[in-house]
A and B are shown apart, each in its own frame.
Chain A
Amino acid sequence: GQNIDQPTEMTATEGAIVQINCTYQTSGFNGLFWYQQHAGEAPTFLSYNVLDGLEEKGRFSSFLSRSKGYSYLLLKELQMKDSASYLCAVDSNYQLIWGAGTKLIIKP
């Protein structure tokens, strides 16, 4: 079957760094997405990785290792507004397979 695993919940402190991991087992792979979803709102696109390595975009970075079926989202200089769920999704044969999301709680 196809499976995406990510932690259910994480807590971090304002100003700190947090890494959210995602492991996947899918029948195909055409890239991995990270989306951010604030409570009661729609998911919004954060990043896309299709090649191994780190993609940096401001305070957010995303890493991919295809051989390990592993990705992480790194958030630096955390702000209170970063409190949200972070969804990992894999493009597998023209279908997006979604993880359940990691709820990130930021404390002052």
Chain B
Amino acid sequence: DTAVSQTPKYLVTQMGNDKSIKCEQNLGHDTMYWYKQDSKKFLKIMFSYNNKELIINETVPNRFSPKSPDKAHLNLHINSLELGDSAVYFCASSQDHGRDITGELFFGEGSRLTVL
């Protein structure tokens, strides 16, 4: 059983298109995240959802919109794709250990997005 699964693993698309990446976790965790890892390998937090509430939004363009139908799912929708959006997007989840402490992160396998 895969703990954190995301689809698709690979996505190649044209500039201007709209695409979605789905993520599901079966760990019963309270918090889910979307990270972007660019070619320089920096992991940058995009969004964090705790019990379906957005708790971090790190200056991400509003072309990116997270959707969480329930606490086991956090999907990422991207409108009007740009070349600079090409990266690997990782979904992750963690169990809360109190309001100000992040638990160990469990990552999905990543979705490699290439915008042509």
Please give the residue numbers on chain A whose beta carbons come within 8 Å of chain B beta carbons, in ascending order.
28, 30-31, 33, 35, 41-45, 48, 85, 87, 89, 91, 93-96, 98, 100-101
In the complex, per-residue mask of B39-62: 1 if CB is within 8 Å of any chain A CB, else 0? 011111100000000011000000
Least CB distance, A58 to chain B, in whole angstroms: 17
B109 touches A42 (CB 8 A): yes
Highest count of chain A CB atoms <10 Å: which of B43, B55, B101, B109: B43
A-B contact pairs, 24 of them (CB 8 A): A28-B100, A30-B102, A33-B104, A41-B109, A41-B110, A42-B90, A42-B107, A42-B109, A43-B43, A43-B90, A43-B107, A44-B107, A48-B104, A89-B43, A91-B101, A94-B99, A94-B100, A95-B45, A95-B56, A95-B102, A96-B45, A96-B105, A98-B42, A100-B42
B15-64 residues at the A interface, CB under 8 angstroms: 40-45, 55-56
B108 in contact (CB, < 8 A): yes
Bound CA span A35–B41, Å: 13
Which B residue's beta carbon lies closest to that of A43? B107
Please give the residue numbers on chain B whose beta carbons come within 8 Å of chain A beta carbons, in ascending order.
40-45, 55-56, 90, 99-102, 104-110
A28 partner residues in chain B, CB cutoff 8 A: 100
Bound CA span A93–B48, Å: 14
Least CB distance, B58 to chain A, in whole angstroms: 8
Least CB distance, B56 to chain A, in whole angstroms: 6
Specify which of A44, A87, A93 is in contact with B100 (CB 8 Å cutoff). Answer: A93
A42 touches B108 (CB 8 A): yes
Given contacts A30-B102, A100-B40, 7 further A-B contacts (CB under 8 A): A45-B104, A93-B100, A94-B99, A94-B100, A94-B101, A98-B42, A100-B41
A94 partner residues in chain B, CB cutoff 8 A: 55, 99-102
A87 partner residues in chain B, CB cutoff 8 A: 43
A35 partner residues in chain B, CB cutoff 8 A: 105
A42 touches B100 (CB 8 A): no
